[in-house]
Amino acid sequence: MSITKTAVVGATTLASTALLAASVGTANAASAQSAHSTQVKTVMRAAVPASDAQGRTMADTSTSVRISAAESGSASRYWTERRMAAATPLDLEDGAATGQQLTAQSIPVSKPFGGVPTVGALFSNDGHGDHYCTASVVHSSSQRLLITAAHCIHGGLGKTYRRNVVFVPKYDRGHRPYGMWTAGMLMVEKRWASKSDPDLDFGFIALNTRNGTTIQKAVGYNKLSINRGVGRTVDVFGYPDARERPISCHTKTARYSKYQIRMDCTGFTRGTSGSPWLLGYNGKTHTGSINGVIGGFHTGGHTASRSYSAYFDKDVANLRSAADKRAS
């Protein structure tokens, strides 16, 4: 599978400015084990009843993995200053995202900025390299959930969940004002895990508490918005490989296919997979309603000027409900 807007840790960029190493509080931390010997096992969950907006029972089509306290401790040690500072783009395959821009006129231009507390860099390892994406805090009863692209946490067909997953809210040029948070559970749709279905390229992460506090209490949250159609104005925030800080863009959504939407904006290169598309963004509270995440077609897009998202419908809402129950 081509991970077009996901970057890996290797040689240079995402932050020549090093992230300072910090201790990460994890829930009920146990004795740690080597990150390279840690094996992540996919857990296919039995159907658990969930309800849609009309109260009808819906089958749970999720697959998830719980991450032990020992594995979480290993992840916090794995992401050293050196590894985070060495983040670099993935070696591209044919058709993968590059710095190429569309030639159409009037394409909105992204701008670097200081970031927002509810959006951050997501780091992980899959046994073949270290990666980063973008993720954001989404409202949940457990107060622990992030949303990102499914391909940022699970390799899809024939593959499994990524390891050593950590989240750094509002990362900006080596600064991490809210610390580093380890993952306690990862969840994607079964059809993503079994088929790499681009229409289901979204996933959820339950973070461990840090110093006794949930991520939602620490940084706030964005709401989840489904079935809102297209032609909507959104603010998109992400972490491209070409910069040491996040970028933002104010643009509009458009239909690409029945279950895919798109948006045009320059600068959304590799690393921006999982970037939230926020409806009704409030510049004072720095929050909005998530109506998409970069992913889907070409795992987010094969140019830096056009990005895609799976259309957010009941499948997203049902997966969020399943993740929230699993996280509680």
CATH code at position 169? 2.40.10.10
Is pLDDT of 57 > 80?
Answer: no
pLDDT band at 48 (very low <50, low <70, confident <90, very high): very low
Q: pLDDT for 288-306, tens place per residue?
A: 999 999 986 565 556 667 8
Distance CA 51, CA 143 (A): 20
Question: Does residue 73 form part of some domain?
Answer: yes
* Contact in structure between 272 and 279 (CB atoms under 8 Å): no
Question: Does residue 43 form part of some domain?
Answer: no
Question: Does residue 40 form part of some domain?
Answer: no
Higher local confidence (pLDDT), 48 or 123: 123
Residue of 235, 266, 252 whose CA lies nearest to 110: 266
Query: Among 44-48, 71-75, 78-82, where is mean pLDDT lowest?
Result: 44-48
Relative to beta strand 287-293, strand 223-224 is parallel
- pLDDT confidence of residue 105: 59
Residues sharing a CB contact under 8 Å with residue 279, sequence separation 6 or more, in sequence order: 225, 228, 232, 233, 234, 288, 289, 290, 291
* Contact in structure between 288 and 223 (CB atoms under 8 Å): yes
Question: Does residue 319 form part of some domain?
Answer: yes
* Structural domain total, the chain: 1
Question: Does residue 44 form part of some domain?
Answer: no
Question: Does residue 199 form part of some domain?
Answer: yes
Measured CA to CA in angstroms, residue 182 lies from 9, 76, 165 at distances of 18, 7, 6
User: Rounded mean pLDDT of 61-85?
Assistant: 91
Token pair 């593959």: residue: 159
Is pLDDT of 143 > 60?
Answer: yes
Domain, as residue range, for 186? 7-27+58-93+104-327
- pLDDT confidence of residue 141: 98
* Helix (H), strand (E) at residue 195: helix 190-195
- pLDDT confidence of residue 242: 64
Q: pLDDT for 199-229, tens place per residue?
A: 999 999 999 999 999 999 999 999 999 999 9
Question: Does residue 34 form part of some domain?
Answer: no
- pLDDT confidence of residue 22: 41
Distance CA 70, CA 14 (A): 28
Question: Does residue 32 form part of some domain?
Answer: no
